[in-house]
Amino acid sequence: TQRLPRAVGKAKAMDMALTGRMMDAQEAERAGLVSRVVPLERLMEEALGAASMICEFSQIAVMAAKESVNRSFEGTLNDGIMFERRMFHALFATQDQKEGMDAFVNKRKAVFTNT
């Protein structure tokens, strides 16, 4: 009951909490509870495709992005901005940042080492 209103808004959360009404997949997607809905027969293909795309990025940056999004629900906007600023400076000092910039400038695919 604490997280649902933040995700779907007060009115929808109240409706679900008081009536016990369940949401179908399409409504959950519209409400922002899930990022996408796919047919069951394509579920594994979609999940592996998303995982493959994420694996192409620097895992240090992926973890920082995930932590930033998770923290956005826990504190104030100012706290989140300050955290992101610290993450930006920390990530800027990594080899992966240098590799990413070099790959971009030279129009090639980056090869991240997670360092």
Contact 101, 110 (CB under 8 A): no
pLDDT of amino acid 56: 94
9: left (phi over 0), alpha (psi -120 to 50) or beta: left
For 80-90, write each residue's pLDDT tens digit.
899 999 999 99
Asked if residue 63 lies in contact with residue 55, where contact means CB atoms within 8 angstroms, the answer is no
Which pTM does this prediction carry?
A: 0.75
Q: What is the CA radius of gyration of the chain?
A: 19
Q: Give me the mean pLDDT over the 100-105 stretch.
A: 96
Residue 57 has pLDDT above 80, yes or no: yes
pLDDT at 72: 82
| pLDDT band at residue 5 using 50, 70 and 90 as cut-offs | confident
Which residue ranges form the domains of the chain, and what is each CATH number? Answer: 1-37 (no CATH), 40-115 (1.10.12.10)
Percent pLDDT > 70 in the chain is 99
Q: What is the pLDDT of residues 59-80, one digit of tens each?
A: 999 999 999 988 887 888 888 8
